Amino acid sequence: NAGVTQTPKFQVLKTGQSMTLQCAQDMNHEYMSWYRQDPGMGLRLIHYSVGAGITDQGEVPNGYNVSRSTTEDFPLRLLSAAPSQTSVYFCASSPLAGGPDTQYFGPGTRLTVL
Amino acid sequence: SQQGEEDPQALSIQEGENATMNCSYKTSINNLQWYRQNSGRGLVHLILIRSNEREKHSGRLRVTLDTSKKSSSLLITASRAADTASYFCATDHNTDKLIFGTGTRLQVFP
C-alpha cells in the first residue's frame, strides 16, 4: 500500500492564480481531511469529508474548495491564490469509528504564493 | 476556538530523562490523539485514547486522560535523541472535525 500520497511536493504560484493540490489514499478510508501548517504553528483544519459525495468546512475554509467524487481522492482547490495561503498543506485519511480515528498523513505540499 | 493547547511550548532534556507534555481542551470529546512530527515531515500517530479510558501505554509512551479536568498528558520515558520532534494533541469534540493543538517542541540532547 502506498498510503496517502500528495502531489505536487512543492509549488510556487503568483497571486491570483488557481491550482489543485492532489491527495489520494489506497486504504479504503471513509474519512479524509486537509490541514495547513504555518511556520512554528499547529495544524488547522481546512475541509474534511466523511465519505464520497460528502464534504464539510473546517476551521479555515475560506479561499479553498474541495470535492469527493471517489473514496480514494480528495483534491483541494485554491481558487485565487493569496500570499496568506503560503503554507505547508497536509492531507490525511482515517477510518471512521464514531468520529475521526487514527489519521494517516501524507508527506505534505509546500506552497509559496508570491 | 476549540483548539487544544499543549504545555509547555518547548522542552529541553538530556537523554535518559523523562519528558512530560500536557494538553488541555475546552469541550467534551469522543477521543484524544497524540501525534509526533519530525522537522519538515508529516505527522505520525502515536496513541489514541477514548473518553472512557484513563490511561494507555505504548512502548515508552504513557498517555493519561482526565475528562473532568479536560486534560491529557503524554509521558515519554528514558528519552532518546531520536525523540526530538514536535508533539501535538488532537481532539474531536464529539464532532467529525479533528482539531490539533499548538504543539510542544521537544529537544533531547545526547
Per-residue pLDDT tens digits for B26-47: 988 989 999 999 987 889 999 9
Looking at mean pLDDT, say which of A85-99, B32-46, B48-62 comes out highest: B48-62
**With 0-12 CB in 10 A as exposed, 13-18 as middle and 19+ as buried, what is B45?**
middle
Q: What CA–CA distance (Å, rounded) separates B86 from B107?
A: 9
Q: Inform me whether the C-beta atom of residue B90 falls under 8 Å from chain A C-beta atoms.
A: yes
Average pLDDT over residues B68-95: 94
Give Cα separations from B81 to A103, B19, B38 (angstroms): 25, 12, 12
Average pLDDT over residues B9-30: 95
Average pLDDT over residues B62-73: 97
What is the pLDDT confidence band of residue B87, given thresholds at 50, 70 and 90?
Answer: very high
Q: What are phi and psi of B99, to 5 degrees?
A: -105, 130
Query: Do the Cβ atoms of B102 and A105 come within 8 Å?
Result: no
**B5 pLDDT exceeds 90?**
no
β-partners of residue A52 are none
Average pLDDT over residues B67-93: 95
Say which of A33, A41, A98 has its CB closest to residue B98: A33
Q: Inform me whether the C-beta atom of residue B30 falls under 8 Å from chain A C-beta atoms.
A: yes
**B1 pLDDT exceeds 60?**
no
Average pLDDT over residues A62-83: 97
Interface test with chain A among B43, B91, B92, B105, by most A beta carbons within 10 Å? B43
Which chain A residues touch B47 with a CB distance below 8 Å?
none
Q: What CA–CA distance (Å, rounded) separates B24 from B30?
A: 15
Query: What is the distance in angstroms between the Cα of B51 and the nearest Cα belonging to chain A?
Result: 12
Lookup: cell for B70:
479536560
CB within 8 Å of chain A, chain B residues 43-72: 43-45, 48
**B23 pLDDT exceeds 80?**
yes
What is the pLDDT confidence band of residue B95, given thresholds at 50, 70 and 90?
Answer: confident
Cell 504513557 identifies what position?
A: B62
